[in-house]
Structures are given as structure tokens and as C-alpha cells.
Amino acid sequence: MGTIEEHIGSSIRRTGNSHRALHEWLDGKDLSYGEMLSRHAPSNVQKFLPLVRKKFGKEGAGEYLRHLHEDYEHGFLLRAVMKMEKLWLWCLHDKIII
């Protein structure tokens, strides 16, 4: 997964605009892990695209898709799944103890 600064760098190279608010909306420190995953899920793109366009403009909507593209290219999904598996193992372990 690219860092916010990396995403900002590519937005500036592409558009001349940092689109910081958009990248913070996707990866900001205040988001829960669930919110972050949900905003990156390909199955949610249709749901979020109108909202993103309204919040961040037409160019921002394009940068939203490119942000997802960059994250998936860098193995975002793989790492997310591995984290979920760790969580699942932890839950299983917890149940066995109880």
C-alpha cells in the first residue's frame, strides 16, 4: 500500500494538484481499519464514486480510482487479507480458551 505522501506525489505529477483531502479520506489516521478497507474495496467503487465526485470533484474521482489502482498494484489486497487471517486466528484462539 502506498503511503499518503506517495499518493500525493503521484497526484501532483498527474494533475498538478495534491488531492490531499481525497487521500486522507482513503487512508487517514482517524479511520478505523474497517472503514479503510471498505473505502478501498472494488465492490464499493460504484457506491462511493458519486460521493467522491461530489466531495472531491471530477478530477478527484479520477484520482480515487488511480489511488485504488496503485494500492492494488503494491499488494494492498494481499496484505489486507493476511491481516484479516491473523484476526480470524486470534478469534479462533479466543474461542478455544473460553
Query: Rounded to an integer, what distance in angstroms lies between the CA atom of residue 28 and that of residue 40?
Result: 12
Least distance to Zn ion from the beta carbon of 67, Å?
6
CB-wise, 53 or 77, nearer to Zn ion?
A: 77
Query: Rounded to an integer, what distance in angstroms lies between the CA atom of residue 51 and that of residue 32?
Result: 19
Of the listed pieces 13-21, 23-31, 77-85, 87-95, which binds Zn ion according to CB under 5 A? 23-31
CB-wise, 2 or 57, nearer to Zn ion?
A: 2
26, 56, 60, 61: which one binds Zn ion (CB under 5 A): 26
Q: Which residues of 27-46 are buried (b: 16+ CB within 10 A; e: fewer)?
A: beeeeeeeebbebbeeeeee
25, 27, 52, 64: which one binds Zn ion (CB under 5 A): 27
Residues contributing to the site for Zn ion (CB under 5 A): 26-27, 71
